[in-house]
Amino acid sequence: MHFRGCQIKIVGRIGRTLILTGMCFGMSCGTPRRPPQPQTTEIHELQEPVLATEDLNDEMSIFHLPSFWHTQNQDTIEFKDLKGNVLVVVMFYTSCKAACPRLVADMQSIEAKVRPSAKKNIKYVLVTIDPEVDTPNKLKKFSKINKMDGDQWLFLHSDEESIRLFANVLSVKYAQISPIDFSHSNIISVFDEHGILQHQQEGLGVDNEETVNKIINLSH
């Protein structure tokens, strides 16, 4: 999925139309009753204010996020401190037994494939969705155990609100489904050096060639 400037609008709009269509379809297979319209969502014509591409890009930057994060090294940072780096971002939690080990493995695999052609400005960012358990210390331990303790690896911890807000930026869905487990979408996102989302890979153990190429192209 491409998230760049104006295109996001179009993607969003088409998505919405499909969803509404999908809902109506869902109704007809489930209920004999006449499908009540969910008050029709008016799809308005695009009324983009005329903005230079650069401005519009800047408006989509995660550097606008107001939240603070703690790293595995106990530093406090904002996303804008990462300006100049290509960011490869995933949301996960360390005590997860099912999906996360594979997600983490996917990150490692991407990192390994990018490394030969890598320039220095790439950060692999793992953001916890379980801030209570995943303290910066815990994240530090996790990074050592998984041999992700080079400078390119960044583990981030914050408060629940900042994490929820960030997940919304990535369109990552997550929910705590038991005291120790979360259900979450498996999305690896790539941001360019200006903090603009450029690429998302969804699913586990998928072919990551496109993601790898994107990262190499964005790093320079």
The nearest distance, CB 108 to another protein, in angstroms, is: 18
Q: In sequence order, which residues have a C-beta less than 8 Å from that of residue 196 and are 6 or more positions away?
A: 3, 4, 57, 60, 61, 62
CB 184 within 8 A of CB 91: yes
Q: How far is the CB of 51 from another protein (least distance, A)?
A: 9
Q: Which is nearer to another protein, 1 or 118 (CB)?
A: 1
CB closer to another protein, 77 vs 99: 99
Strands in 58-214 per DSSP E: 69-71, 76-77, 86-92, 122-128, 153-157, 174-176, 182-184, 187-191, 197-202
Taking the complex as a whole, how short is the minimal distance between the CB of residue 104 and another protein, in angstroms? 14
In the complex, minimum distance from the CB of residue 6 to another protein, in angstroms, rounded to a whole number:
9
Q: Give me the amino acid identity at 69.
A: W
Which residues bind to another protein, rule: CB under 8 A?
Answer: 8-9, 12, 15-16, 19-20, 22-23, 25-27, 29-31, 33, 36-42, 44, 46-49, 56, 59-62, 64, 96, 98-99, 102, 161, 164-165, 167-169, 171-175, 177-178, 181-187, 202-204
In the bound state with another protein, the residue whose beta carbon lies nearer, of 12 and 150, is 12
Contact 6, 48 (CB under 8 A): yes
Distance, in Å, from the CA atom of 86 to the CA atom of 109, rounded to the nearest integer, reads 17
Residues 6+ apart with CB under 8 A from 205: 102, 105, 106
Give 26 or 150: the residue with its C-beta nearer to another protein. Answer: 26
Question: Quick one: 151 or 175, whose CB is closer to another protein?
Answer: 175
Token readout for 208 is 């990551």
Find the shortest distance in angstroms from Cβ 150 to another protein.
Answer: 28
| Contact between residue 156 and residue 128 where contact means Cβ atoms under 8 Å apart | yes
The residue among 128 and 152 lying less far from another protein, judged by its C-beta, is 128
Minimum CB–partner distance for residue 74 and another protein (Å): 27
